[in-house]
Amino acid sequence: MRRILVTSALPYANGHIHLGHLVEYIQTDIWVRFQRLQGNRAIYVCADDTHGTAIMIRAASEGRTEEDLIAEMSKSHQEDFSGFDIEFDHYGSTNSEANKETCNEIWKSLNEAGMVIEKEIEQLYDTEKGLFLADRMVRGTCPFCKALDQPGDNCSKCGETYSPKDLIDPISKLSETVPETRTAKHLFVHIEKLHEFLDEWTQSGTLPPESSNYLKNYFLNEKLKDWDISRPSPYFGFEIPDSPGNYWYVWFDAPIGYIASTKEWCNRENENIDDWWKNDQTEIHHFIGKDIQYFHTLFWPAMLKTSPYSLPTKIHIHGFLTVDGEKMAKSKGTFIRAATYLKHLNPSALRYYYASRLSSKVEDIDLNLEDFANKVNADLVGKVINLASRTAKFVSDSGLSEKYPDDGGLFESAAKEGNKIAADYEAGNYSHAMRRILEIADKANPFVEQNAPWELRKDPEKSKELQDVCTIALNIFRQLVIYLSPVLPSLSKKTEELFGEPIQSWDQSLSPLTGIKLNKFKHMMNRVDPKNIESMTEESKEEATKELASTHVEAKSSNWNDSGSPLEEEPLSEEISFDDFMKPDLRVARIVEAKEVPEARKLIQLTLSLGGDERRNVFAGIKSAYEPEELVGRLVVMVANLAPRKMKFGISEGMVIASGPGGKEVYLVSPDEGALPGQRIH
């Protein structure tokens, strides 16, 4: 019997659980249930991730304490999880005594190993709010390209990265005041010291190969940067014991929450934490998304390495969720909260669909809503459950045959298949497992067809034969449910009720049930109705609009009913004076030539005429939306006094004006009929 500790990443207390989160928790829950079915001892712990500036600011803006906020979110998260049959042995919080204690302990080990160093860094400080500003809390003018209103870490216009203190005219997003530069002492973990260990550990098979490669080529091929682990007061988190006024950065105490949550479980269950976190016979499995692999594959092992706790046995990394092939988008109603889903659809359907898409690879999975309904209905209702619903009532009086009849090897070959299915589950290749399981169902349905129990029923002399056929179909059904039970605990429960026999072990798939009475067959699962999918996305859209209305000053009602999402995605910039407006010199220009730039992915090279002999060479990032030929001759609006900019393919002497999010959606602005090249726009 293996002893296995399993975790999922800790969801942040600043937001609700949505379908993207659920990929991970469903994936993990399936794995845990599978391990238990195999007879292994597996416990599943998780917790809310509660610290950081975002929580602090939100609590303040809602006029309540952080504790109040995180308590409410924890309750909401747990309700969502349980609604999807995701069962934790313990669900804790990073804001707990156990976590504080464990942080201290790990901190001590890091210090003793000489891993902690102190550096002075300059940071922007909001004098009105009295706090240091995180990069994203500042906006200002880009020091490189002079673009206005850029975030504190990198410029969305020129893409340069910089430190917020380099911004020209920085403004605090919190108070709208001008922050000042102050120096502060920060503590860093010098993980370069463990470079060699990390080189080895990341290649040791603990990670999926895609991730090992990524780390090797991207982080581990140069010196590892010191990790800034402290944040100055005020900060919602734990104060660092030997550095008053400084707090641990949320990413320090978050993974430690795995240990702390286990400790709490141990206290409750009278278990010994050392058996779980300090014993090399215990396997530790983390399930995470690819967005946080950096923390779990470099910092976390480094922290553990110097501590008395065990390193993880395996890190399972999944990709992101897309809906209908695109990123989840509030405006399209595909940003779906767990709670919203549950109002309209059956959690088992989503569990099965995710299972049928998940593999051990680090790849994004797509929730194609049409395919989702199709697959769940065809596979689960039409094939698997159908086996029982079309035969159970024929044996409601007689029960199952005393002796398992000759089925031509159906049951036995399906029992043999069990090993392969189990191997697929173990490796995280759920999609393979689902495929194999459905293949069995695909053999069983023709069997029923050929033996036509509805015909046998008509002839009293064939009652034994009828009972045999149904015994076979129902046993194969039960076998399928055993294989599916990690994915579909609720189907498993209903099957237990039908047979009056609990499903507790994988090996139950090896021997058929005989000679028992069945309970009355009840519907086991409803079909997914596309109407419910639609009402779910509709409601998600409405939620998003409401949210928008409450965060933006006023949502003007209009007859045109335009969506609010473009504004949401790119909020209005700060107010400017008339003089500011007069700075950009916008001119009508005619495109006199348009050329492909073969090596460029996004650019078209334009020659613009401002009338007379005035010509400008401009590179415009509109290749994905326009063909050069269709551009020649048309009028556009250009920024004529923009400083020339050297680009990879030449010098660009201005910009043409366009709207749209990019890609195929780029819309050049044209003047109305009659405008002349060279005219200024005022």
User: How many angstroms separate the CA atoms of 546 and 52, rounded?
Assistant: 26
* 487 near RNA, rule: CB under 7 A: no
* 446 near RNA, rule: CB under 7 A: yes
* 601 near RNA, rule: CB under 7 A: yes
Q: Are strands 314-318 and 180-189 parallel, antiparallel or unpaired?
A: unpaired
Output the smallest distance, CB 503 to RNA, in A. Answer: 18
Candidates 114-122, 379-387, 571-579, 630-638: pick the segment binding RNA (CB under 7 A).
379-387
* 431 near RNA, rule: CB under 7 A: yes
Amino acid making up residue 225: K
User: How many angstroms separate the CA atoms of 268 and 88, rounded?
Assistant: 14
Closest of 105, 485, 88, 40 to residue 287, by C-alpha: 88
Output the smallest distance, CB 445 to RNA, in A. Answer: 4
Closest to RNA by CB, 381 or 472: 381
* 616 near RNA, rule: CB under 7 A: no
The gap from C-alpha 225 to its chain's centroid, in whole angstroms, comes to 26
Contact residue for RNA among 214, 227, 248, 352 (CB under 7 A): 214
Closest to RNA by CB, 94 or 356: 356
> Is residue 640 within 8 Å of 585, Cβ to Cβ?
yes
Output the smallest distance, CB 217 to RNA, in A. Answer: 5
Query: What Å distances lie between residue 296 and 258, 274, 470, 536, CA to CA?
Result: 12, 21, 51, 34
Which residues, listed in sequence order, are joined to residue 131 by a DSSP beta bridge? 126
User: How many angstroms separate the CA atoms of 552 and 475, rounded?
Assistant: 59
Closest of 485, 400, 391, 393 to residue 437, by C-alpha: 485
Binding-site string for RNA from residue 175 to residue 194, where x marks contact by CB under 7 A and - marks none = --------------------
> Is residue 328 within 8 Å of 19, Cβ to Cβ?
yes
Which residues, listed in sequence order, are joined to residue 125 by a DSSP beta bridge? 132, 180
* 619 near RNA, rule: CB under 7 A: yes
Candidates 150-158, 241-249, 271-279, 479-487: pick the segment binding RNA (CB under 7 A).
150-158
Contact residue for RNA among 233, 445, 504, 514 (CB under 7 A): 445
Q: Which residue has the tokens 């709010």?
A: 129
DSSP three-state, residue 616: strand
Give Rg (Cα) of the chain: 31
Closest to RNA by CB, 158 or 311: 158
Output the smallest distance, CB 240 to RNA, in A. Answer: 30
Output the smallest distance, CB 52 to RNA, in A. Answer: 21
Candidates 162-170, 207-215, 241-249, 674-682: pick the segment binding RNA (CB under 7 A).
207-215
Closest to RNA by CB, 179 or 453: 453
Output the smallest distance, CB 646 to RNA, in A. Answer: 7
* 386 near RNA, rule: CB under 7 A: yes
| DSSP secondary structure code for residue 384 in this structure | I
Contact residue for RNA among 361, 462, 493, 552 (CB under 7 A): 361
* 297 near RNA, rule: CB under 7 A: no
Q: Which residue has the tokens 């292994």?
A: 40
Closest to RNA by CB, 81 or 372: 372
* 545 near RNA, rule: CB under 7 A: no
Amino acid making up residue 415: A
* 63 near RNA, rule: CB under 7 A: no
Amino acid making up residue 238: F
Candidates 15-23, 119-127, 198-206, 597-605: pick the segment binding RNA (CB under 7 A).
597-605
What φ, ψ does residue 457 adopt, rounded to 5°?
Answer: -60, -30
Amino acid making up residue 500: G
Amino acid making up residue 57: I
DSSP three-state, residue 117: strand
Q: Residues in the site for RNA, rule: CB under 7 A?
A: 155-159, 161, 209-210, 213-214, 217-218, 359, 361-363, 366, 368, 371, 374-375, 377-378, 381-383, 385-386, 389-391, 393, 431-432, 435, 438, 442, 445-446, 448-449, 452-455, 523-527, 601-603, 619-621, 645, 647-648, 652, 655, 662
